[in-house]
Amino acid sequence: MNSAVVSKQAAKARRLYRRLESRLLPEHRGQVVAIEIESGAYVVGDDELEVARQAQAQFPDKLFYFFRIGERAVHKLR
């Protein structure tokens, strides 16, 4: 997959997340969301591994982008 395609997919994922964020924030702040970019379907959970497993089970062979709800990044480097 070339970088232009990846950039377009990442931009689409960010747009989808921005639409969902206000709905997810009250109940799921700090949790992780995986968004399947073709359909906009998503899975929410406490950590990336849990969410990745659920997303793969629900939507096999699909591409997901991960966001930590209400935060700027999924991971923090210390």
Q: What's this model's pTM, rounded to 2 decimal places?
A: 0.89
pLDDT, one tens digit per residue, over 24-70 is: 999 999 999 999 999 999 999 999 999 999 999 999 999 999 999 99
| Reduced 3-state DSSP string for the chain | CCHHHHHHHHHHHHHHHHHHHHHHHHHHCCCEEEEECCCCCEEEECCHHHHHHHHHHHCCCCCEEEEECCCCCCCCCC
Residue 78 pLDDT level (bands cut at 50, 70, 90):
low
CB-CB contact of 66 with 34 (8 Å): yes
User: In the prediction, which pLDDT does 73 show?
Assistant: 85
Residue 5 pLDDT level (bands cut at 50, 70, 90):
confident
Q: Which amino acid is at 50?
A: E
Cα–Cα dist 45/49, whole Å: 9
